Amino acid sequence: MASSSPIFERIVNENDKTEIAAFDFKIVKKAIKFYYDQDISQFLKKLPRAIELFKFSIKFEMDELKKQLELHFVDILSPANICEITNLAISTKSQKLKDLCSRVLLIFLRESFYVKNFDILNKDFAFEVMQKGVSQ
């Protein structure tokens, strides 16, 4: 793990356990399994778990895990979860994921798909997408 994350390298070298304690043990365990090439796809089937693992990958600068989770979110993006994934992209400053969500959300709205949880979507982002929709 230390070789995959500069933060983990520091934690290991300084024996600092406090930072990891902020995350559920299952999240830490799945991150470790990922780096030991074990299948974590079943774990990712529940969106809240995938979201927490993504936050973990950001906090500990685990770039490979972050990239794989971004691809996972792309694969599962739907009208039922786009608002949650968009808010995640915004809160973690994942520009690539945010841009994709913007384009896909615009398509969903143009095609009159029911977008679940639209009310939880970041208001500034929602306004931005609506502006794009009107101007195009």
DSSP one-letter string for 96-116: HHHHHHHHHHHHHHHTT---T
**77-103 per-position pLDDT tens digit:** 999 999 999 999 999 999 999 999 999
Query: What is the model's pLDDT at position 131?
Result: 87
Please list, in sequence order, all residues whose beta carbon lies within 8 angstroms of the beta carbon of residue 132, skipping any fewer than 6 positions away. 102, 106
> What's the whole-model pTM score?
0.86
pLDDT > 90? residue 125: yes
CB 77 within 8 A of CB 70: no
Query: What is the model's pLDDT at position 13?
Result: 77
> Does residue 65 or residue 131 have the better pLDDT?
65
